[in-house]
Structure 1
């Protein structure tokens, strides 16, 4: 997490050689009304664009043209001359095509689904989409070159003269103008990536071998590179949903597209000796994750030749003002159409107003040198890169001159020099430090190779410690560190006690990812907040992160935990771990205790639990991607399942341990993308304890007395309300992404998102565990009927706030039962 400040810096800074032909302006009808989605091309070429909802357009070309051609179904084509190389603020008026009004559909409003030639063509695309492209061959390989660039846009004199850029004015020497939007921009970062891709359709496997990676100023930062890769995931335009920015956009080629888009057959022409049809599409409804644009499709293979996609401006997406995509396909023979170029532009901004500043993110991907039917062994696809290969990130200029499939512009080349100079400016270094703290939570003390933090756990409050302060640090040389040491110290002003923790871990074998770890912690903790007991010595501590709670928060435990572990990842994303831990537990509060009877006559009571345990666990997370090759890695994606199995053996007598027992636990968590219906999260968890154990070792259904929404807990349960030794829980949550609110006139402009949730728990407690209970807490388990609660929530309030309204479904007569509550959370999402 150390270097993830770069993406945030791109979002914060906005607050703070030219193409040969450029043209921009507005298209109107004879009544002065703007004409949306009209085709505008340079005369005598296929280079063009379509007007937006307001009739506005902009395009540019490296070639020289002297005219524009504007076409629009139901209107006469119009050509205008371009007297200069740069032609802005053009106003073009179209006249209706009166002679053809009875033969064509006027291109306004909703288009018919029946007797529409565009939809007839669309159905042929569906029928043939698996008969085009790489799916036709058994094996394939090709060269792939990817260039990602970030630019400050809407550069004007006010920004250039701003005090924020004092002594950094030299960066504006690299300004250029976007061929898509017409805005002036300043390149501030560029990343190049060259790789070879291998695939086998019979095995169903694909592998990408990275040959070289280079970026301006941060050449060896794998976390930044991984972030870029996840931000701009590859996608197939033929899929029903195109997934990027954590969203699922309905593709214009989707089999559900008829219900989502209007389609108009606009034109036909020869493109590279292939007869093609041009179809314009635009959304039927606003606020949905849809596109507008057009595509050319071949009339025999029904394969896409060219397509452009522009996200509907009213789409419910945060921080992104505009998204524009172009894809080009080439014909290798009569049936094999392959992608050759993919261009993706996104305009990140805090506001969506036309003149607001932002940051362009541009990805250009080029594909070349396709080869087919050269099989590779299956083991080739299963090989993993387990070590950092520095030469991949430090290729010389000669390598890039050979591997680039298109040359860098003068301004792009200048970015490499500019950012190297910028890093020497003290003011930029201060921006660097602030961004790092905001994103990672740590302050980088480079001279000592330490990260200080996390700053977000510096203060807390609870009924035992009162005001709590906490400070910590960890060693950090780079993200490939083979070992790491971390520690913290904390102090409570009410209990006047010092707490601390120290841990270390070392990577012994890169190939098997064999890791040894150990540590010790002495602290105050809320152990009733999770069913799965963590063996992570410095894991999350609710006592240090909670400032405001509901009801009494005095049921805290003083814990001393020593742990030693060894783990390995012999198979990708399957981690097997063995722990040996020893802990002592006793109440941290005079109003709460963990007492238990030591015999069935209930004559002797102990208040402290001493327990030695051996834990064997396995976590499988298929599809997880990470960056870095050190002892700690950064997860760079999120849409993957997590499957956990754990076995715990408590050994009585070992190191004076008190109990002999066994515990089995499992959980399965899966986030789901539901296309146009939003996103869904599901978690099931179950466990059973064999043997007699006191409260501190039982499974407490996790309540949540915080005012913050915490997934996996029950916000209407108090701590220690349900206590079990056998349990099963279920958590379901669905975010509709604004699909409902987006259809309500007075709400749709707010871009709110609807969230519903359901949580349930069943459990039981044995008579033997009931008999040894000597605490001041009555054991209640939801065994006769499962406990449940549900919630409705509103997300994306002011783009960052979520509020959940939680309702308790049953067990309403339980003492201190909370029937209704409100929790909230800060969520930064697209």
Structure 2
């Protein structure tokens, strides 16, 4: 048997599968070695010692030791290296180093190398996103009865790496033309080819497109999963990173420096990684960012970002390739996890071209994604010619495999069960039932309440949505219910009409407040403050509206509502407010509402629409007028309300989330149900928009102005406490304050100064709550400590803090899912 003469191989990052150049490879006993080339390949003469071990070393990675079998003629190895993230801070022995000098030179040349400095540019963008299930244990799964229908899937697990195998379960590809201009700031992406498995929704495709690729490594801060990380190229980077200059390499006659960086301090959101720097321009040719082990981010076991740039001419660099790889473990760190891999390739680059401005002139808003006709009908043969790089073997299997999985009855059974548990709804063809958590509930007025919902699905109609429910209270022996129809015009984008009828208790919900934990669910009584008597208004309302939303995120809604209110003890009876013989309290109103949300994005499903706000403020303005003598309405007033919300980041100091609002009601002798009822909270679950130490119906106003502001400074202060640095607990403070007043006629009409239940006015004063607390406790829990500063309450004689209905201090809990 002839002995081999050399060892060949390729060195790659185990997580990102990116090649690693300038890696040291040598024989442990023989002593000689070599370096991997610019594509990660190496060749090494055989060892003179029979039983020798190949040692692979690279800065920032765990060492690899590979015993070699000497009885094979030629050895070809694919060696994966794992990032070794330091959990302890680096001890710097000297203030001067080669790495620090290189970093300073990069910072000095940031302006001329920043890709976003160009007036405009365009390119052809290839986008590929894959989702894999990781940490699969074949033996355990094969023994489980639930997994037997999917046994064939295990044959598709990728075992090319030395780590645990993973199963590709989702893949989407898009090819598009991408246009950008700096002033005015515009982005246009025209998707000309797309194929996907699992997601057909166009809104979701837009999120998967290149429009959300805004990371700029030359910025001082980089946002990842909504968290702010300090860039290694930050002007203050030497306060957070240790820089080490390692190697130099020549590629096509050009010299590049290899710079590595690692965290200097515990607790900061920083990266570990390395970059290759062009000597002549000090531009980044390739950078790898690995999230440090101590970074304050939830559910993410590993996260790597790789960006490559190519030289367009002697002084200009442009995007070449991006990779974003994240391993997300929703339950436990070493259990089943998901790996999301996103790859972007850039070709056909044009810079500062007038033709780009002509394309951007087609935009109706600043950022626009267009899916061209026929983009989904391109066959696999054409895709093979259009793709800049071929699919890997496991990726080629994904399309066929997911089709097979979706056709299995067991898949539908399991997916329906998960949807029912987490979403609350169950579909039966054209109809659906749920949510299940509203089927049974209870309150002091109804004692036991049952409810059943029925709605249509997209199989009934994509444009028309019908929904209704019936409910019954066993104590009051009253039937309640709702019916609603919503129609979106397919041929008139952005237009919809809605008609509804409801006859039910208000169930603890305050209008314009979407975060209320209502009494209409089976968990509500568990978190109530039992010493506070529940207060209810029954509303019978007919309502209709027509709305239009333009592509620039400006929306207008015109509505008409006719409502009949029935008020229950301990609130004042409606006979005090009605001018009618039958004591009914009826109001008719027409209103117009304007909403402007620049930068907002939406994901629409058949049942609901989720809105994702950008960094810009969202404005809402509503004008309303009562219609006396129309549909039996008996009141006359005019109403104006304004509301502005925004959430944005303060560099190094977390996030600010605020809401400012104001309103004025012009009219006298109006019942409190038609005035502004400042939102109170009577449960132990913290409510973001309500005043948590104010009772419901405690204060009423006809003119008011207020502010809610919360500053979550994450770990900024907690990092000063040594034993808290390694935790992921975050800290915040908040302020809620409203000024209000009630006119003399409305004050007298609502009997605010006497009666069994006193409706109070703020009397030209402010109600203020100040709070602080801790977030991200065990990743999900939040604790709020709230103080009522004004007006201060005095505990009645003989009462204790546990049995009085009003308190100056309270502790509240809540759940939050966040990265």
Displacement of 1:647 in angstroms is 0.6
Distance between the aligned counterparts of 1:239 and 1:674, measured in 2? 14
| 1:626 lines up with 2:605 in the alignment | no
Match of 2:519 in 1: 543
Displacement of 1:114 in angstroms is 4.7
**C-alpha contact 2:255 2:278 (8 A) present in aligned 1:** yes
**C-alpha contact 1:145 1:367 (8 A) present in aligned 2:** yes
Distance between the aligned counterparts of 2:460 and 2:782, measured in 1? 33
| 1:325 lines up with 2:305 in the alignment | yes
Distance between the aligned counterparts of 1:249 and 1:261, measured in 2? 12
Distance between the aligned counterparts of 1:542 and 1:231, measured in 2? 38
| 1:274 lines up with 2:254 in the alignment | yes
Displacement of 1:182 in angstroms is 3.5
Match of 2:800 in 1: none
| 1:70 lines up with 2:68 in the alignment | no
Distance between the aligned counterparts of 1:394 and 1:636, measured in 2? 30
Q: 1:231 to 1:358 in 2, by over 3 A?
A: farther
Match of 1:683 in 2: 659
Distance between the aligned counterparts of 1:640 and 1:479, measured in 2? 37
Displacement of 1:723 in angstroms is 1.2
Distance between the aligned counterparts of 1:368 and 1:386, measured in 2? 19
Match of 2:590 in 1: 614
Displacement of 1:630 in angstroms is 7.6
> Equivalent residue of 2:375, what SS?
helix
Distance between the aligned counterparts of 1:62 and 1:128, measured in 2? 32
Displacement of 1:567 in angstroms is 0.8
Residue among 481, 490, 494 paired with 2:462: 481
Q: 1:295 to 1:387 in 2, by over 3 A?
A: closer
Distance between the aligned counterparts of 1:483 and 1:72, measured in 2? 59
Displacement of 1:78 in angstroms is 12
Residue among 145, 152, 156 paired with 1:174: 156
| 1:361 lines up with 2:340 in the alignment | yes
Q: Give a deviation string over 1:313-347, Cα, whole Å, max 9, x none.
A: 22221111000121111111111111111111111
Distance between the aligned counterparts of 1:516 and 1:459, measured in 2? 31
Distance between the aligned counterparts of 1:680 and 1:761, measured in 2? 19
Q: 1:251 to 1:159 in 2, by over 3 A?
A: farther
Match of 1:380 in 2: 362
Q: 1:287 to 1:243 in 2, by over 3 A?
A: same
Match of 1:712 in 2: 689
Q: 1:768 to 1:803 in 2, by over 3 A?
A: same
**C-alpha contact 2:682 2:696 (8 A) present in aligned 1:** yes
Displacement of 1:72 in angstroms is 5.7
- Summarize the alignment of residues 464-479 of structure 1 with structure 2, pairs less than 5 Å apart: 464-477=445-458
Q: 1:721 to 1:457 in 2, by over 3 A?
A: same
Q: Give a deviation string over 1:193-222, Cα, whole Å, max 9, x none.
A: 211101223332111111222223x25244
- Summarize the alignment of residues 356-505 of structure 1 with structure 2, pairs less than 5 Å apart: 356-372=335-351, 373=353, 374-377=355-358, 379-382=361-364, 391-445=374-428, 447=429, 449-477=430-458, 481-505=462-486
> Equivalent residue of 2:363, what SS?
helix
Distance between the aligned counterparts of 1:198 and 1:619, measured in 2? 28
Q: Which 5+ residue runs of structure 2 have no aligned equivalent? A: 1-7, 15-19, 26-33, 46-53, 70-74, 83-87, 797-804
**C-alpha contact 1:283 1:290 (8 A) present in aligned 2:** yes
**C-alpha contact 1:480 1:630 (8 A) present in aligned 2:** no
CA RMSD, 1 decimal: 3.5
Match of 2:677 in 1: 700
Q: 1:186 to 1:351 in 2, by over 3 A?
A: same
Higher relative contact order, structure no. (Cα contacts within 8 Å, ≥ 6 residues apart): 1
Distance between the aligned counterparts of 2:280 and 2:286, measured in 1? 15
Displacement of 1:24 in angstroms is 9.4
**C-alpha contact 1:597 1:606 (8 A) present in aligned 2:** no
**C-alpha contact 2:588 2:626 (8 A) present in aligned 1:** yes
Residue among 724, 729, 735 paired with 1:752: 729
Q: 1:820 to 1:607 in 2, by over 3 A?
A: farther
Match of 2:17 in 1: none
| 1:195 lines up with 2:195 in the alignment | no
> Equivalent residue of 1:656, what SS?
coil
Q: Which 5+ residue runs of structure 1 have no aligned equivalent? A: 1-18, 26-36, 49-60, 92-106
**C-alpha contact 1:490 1:499 (8 A) present in aligned 2:** yes
Residue among 585, 604, 611 paired with 1:635: 611
Residue among 115, 120, 130 paired with 1:149: 130
- Summarize the alignment of residues 761-780 of structure 1 with structure 2, pairs less than 5 Å apart: 761-774=738-751, 776-780=756-760
Moved more, 763-772 or 395-404: 395-404
Match of 2:623 in 1: 647
Q: 1:735 to 1:370 in 2, by over 3 A?
A: same
Displacement of 1:351 in angstroms is 6.0
| 1:121 lines up with 2:121 in the alignment | no
**C-alpha contact 2:427 2:433 (8 A) present in aligned 1:** yes
> Equivalent residue of 1:118, what SS?
helix
Q: Give a deviation string over 1:513-562, Cα, whole Å, max 9, x none.
A: 121111110010057734x489xxxx978231433322434321000111
Residue among 696, 715, 724 paired with 1:738: 715
Distance between the aligned counterparts of 1:375 and 1:478, measured in 2? 41
**C-alpha contact 2:190 2:370 (8 A) present in aligned 1:** no
Q: 1:780 to 1:409 in 2, by over 3 A?
A: same
Match of 1:100 in 2: none
Moved more, 325-334 or 785-794: 785-794
Match of 1:821 in 2: 810
Q: Give a deviation string over 1:481-514, Cα, whole Å, max 9, x none.
A: 2221111122222222121111112123655512
| 1:346 lines up with 2:326 in the alignment | yes
Residue among 157, 165, 168 paired with 2:147: 165
Q: Give a deviation string over 1:575-620, Cα, whole Å, max 9, x none.
A: 1011011001111446653453568xxxx99854210001011111
**C-alpha contact 1:388 1:480 (8 A) present in aligned 2:** no
Match of 1:28 in 2: none
Distance between the aligned counterparts of 2:122 and 2:294, measured in 1? 39
Displacement of 1:45 in angstroms is 3.2
Displacement of 1:268 in angstroms is 2.5
Match of 1:663 in 2: 639
Distance between the aligned counterparts of 1:654 and 1:763, measured in 2? 30
Moved more, 318-327 or 203-212: 203-212
**C-alpha contact 1:554 1:589 (8 A) present in aligned 2:** no
Q: 1:113 to 1:220 in 2, by over 3 A?
A: farther
Q: 1:695 to 1:326 in 2, by over 3 A?
A: same
Residue among 217, 222, 241 paired with 1:261: 241
Match of 2:562 in 1: 582
Residue among 513, 520, 523 paired with 2:504: 523
> Equivalent residue of 1:316, what SS?
coil
Displacement of 1:138 in angstroms is 3.3
**C-alpha contact 1:111 1:263 (8 A) present in aligned 2:** no
Displacement of 1:468 in angstroms is 2.4
Match of 1:507 in 2: 488
Q: 1:178 to 1:710 in 2, by over 3 A?
A: farther
Distance between the aligned counterparts of 2:316 and 2:383, measured in 1? 29
Q: What is the TM-score of this pair, normalised by structure 2?
A: 0.84
Q: 1:399 to 1:619 in 2, by over 3 A?
A: farther
Distance between the aligned counterparts of 1:225 and 1:438, measured in 2? 26
Displacement of 1:131 in angstroms is 1.8
Match of 1:220 in 2: 200
Displacement of 1:385 in angstroms is 7.6
Q: Give a deviation string over 1:622-661, Cα, whole Å, max 9, x none.
A: 1111245989644356655321100110121112211110
Match of 1:244 in 2: 224
Displacement of 1:116 in angstroms is 4.1
Match of 1:294 in 2: 274
> Equivalent residue of 1:371, what SS?
strand
Match of 2:3 in 1: none
**C-alpha contact 2:22 2:35 (8 A) present in aligned 1:** no
